[in-house]
Structure 1
């Protein structure tokens, strides 16, 4: 059964200065881009989530937990509306009421079947967008998928490869991400599982940063909460931060950082930085389980 919005809503061509998110400034910016639905606002942070069409049995729950970590932020989930990981991520975003945009490897008037059609319809109903560089009812030719992947990466601040074989199409998206020196993330998995051979290879080579716990995706990707703790709330409780501690907190509110990363951003000597972190921990603004990773206000 054909859905109403997807088949009845007309698409329109975007002007180059109206390309969404980071795409207009990307080296992979397409010459033409067509859209159905509502483009994401300029303040959104694109997080690409890609992977195999034939994932493991637990992949849908994994995607749900990964996407849920973005709740309460300005993140928008970008994927390609392919079966498997792509659809799981779009669906998880819709269920969590997180914005999502799909980049198609076919024209926006070309037919979509099954669950993919349902998800495309839901994206439009939720105020999201479907994008393609192909006009009308252009079919999804094999070469279109590689071209589609460069747009997924071009839109996004970071790309996460959830599951992939060593020659999976998601690894092409990963390479586009690396070509623009953007943040590449990957989920580590069982070394005996072929569906993690691609992500494990990215991690083993140092090309990608690991996301060990699904709920930490937001902080690893560097996406802050929209509503962080307010310094004003502390002063009403009699807590006064030093100027140095307030400077560090203001810079990293909502993020997770290692001690080395903090040293790179500030010229504090190690004892001084430790004293600042202790002050923030006593104030309840920073937590650390191992004195290596520091979580600023629930990061």
Structure 2
């Protein structure tokens, strides 16, 4: 059992939207679904010609060595560091880079455990609850356009930052997913994607969803069409959220064993595992929520003016 949440602010509501605070509140409300770890995919307006990278580096001497390897590898790719930050078990850099993204991402994986790369995306994840992660990384102060998050009850892999959601697709910028459920044809699908040259960082079945969707986008699918095919191609029971730098979406398997509730008005679209998460956004208000039907999917785009 895990909990997922996502929010996208529309139009003028996206200006200085407190995405970080909204996701903290939503995830804290469903923390009972996953006390082991918490993660956030946060999206901000991109800086042209720049990429944001975040690594899991551990602590102490291990972290120092990993950070040094990261900096050496960045130098090899002539990626100039504009900003850097070391908090908790992660190290983040904003770099100037305009080369081959896939090759760059694969090589950076050899330096340290890479959480995310994006023009807009920053994945922050660690052990503990939503407020525990916020205490270290100051998620509350993040302002952006949209984001997704996850609370995890570890069932099939280690309780470790690298095994925590959200997951991104190595070699692709700005796509991330959070997932509640199980993909039962994981190994078959993974082998198929690996034969195409794709790389997996973990043995977590949720990472497969990110790589699968990224492959579809690479081959010209819209995000909505990719979500449509995922319902037939992925076996198992699942509800998941996906986000790119401009869109947020969901897919739900045909059995609908994993819960999902959504709320939409002219300012936001918010989706979560439980209604209590949506209520945190509007304390004291009765919300007109709905539950996506089995085997359904949808997407929402942020406005260009946002």
TM-score, normalised by the number of residues in structure 2: 0.26
Higher strand share: 2
Of structures 1 and 2, the one scoring higher in RCO (CA 8 A, sep 6+) is 2
Structure ID, larger Rg: 1
Q: Which has the higher helix share?
A: 1
